[in-house]
Amino acid sequence: MNKTAQTDYDIHPLINQRWSPRAFRNEMPPRDALLRLFEAARWAPSSGNGQPWQFVVTSQENPQAYEKLFTTLHPANQAWVGSAPLLVMAVMEALRDNGRSNLWAPYDLGQAVANLAIQATAEGLFVHQMAGFDREQAKAAFNLPEQFEPMTVFVIGYLGDPDSLSEDLRERELAPRERKPLSSFTYENEWDQPLER
């Protein structure tokens, strides 16, 4: 299925082709491909080069660990996630070494996951990130130290058959991708003055 973005300006094909499906094949990616995804995350920029990201990777090959993370998901996500071979928790280190809050940790973690998602596209894989999960349950289930906070859970896998989804999810899967126009969020010189050609 091709859901290449219909952009107003040319962008890199990997960004153009990246999207977040819900239908996944239950097929494990090669280990080397998986490691390249996290290598891409490793080289993301971060404030002060703090690199405040951690990842807990579970797979269908270890059903007990996978189920432990799966049960933290909201029911709406559980409805489609089960066929994905990999379920990953993205975690930020909320405190710096000096004990102070790292206000930029969520931003930095987001950049690491964005790198990972683009690398996944290069590998023929797809990533779907979810905010819909119980953070406290996840933190307790995996015994995260106090200074670490789960931020999102995401799946990694190969694109599956949309017909495997419920009717409402299938409609969303097949719908065209949409984005706000640039003029609605990019300003030049002062607030609310759109950046134009």
CB atoms within 10 A of CB 157: 25
pLDDT in tens, 138-174: 999 999 999 999 999 999 999 999 999 999 999 999 9
48: left (phi over 0), alpha (psi -120 to 50) or beta: left
Contact 57, 33 (CB under 8 A): no
Domain coordinates in residue numbering, the chain: 24-161
Contact 157, 86 (CB under 8 A): yes
Alpha helices in 59-166 (DSSP H): 63-70, 75-81, 105-122, 135-141
Answer whether 0.85 is exceeded by the pTM.
yes
Distance CA(31)–CA(4), nearest Å, equals 27
What's 24-161's CATH class? alpha beta
In the prediction, which pLDDT does 47 show?
Answer: 93
Give the H/E segment covering residue 142. none
Q: What is the pLDDT of residues 25-53, one digit of tens each?
A: 999 999 999 999 999 999 999 999 999 99
Confidence of residue 95 (pLDDT cuts 50, 70, 90): confident
Long-range interactions of 34-39: CB distance < 8 A, separation 24+: 34/86, 34/156, 36/119, 36/123, 37/116, 37/119, 37/120, 37/123, 37/125, 37/156, 38/116, 39/119
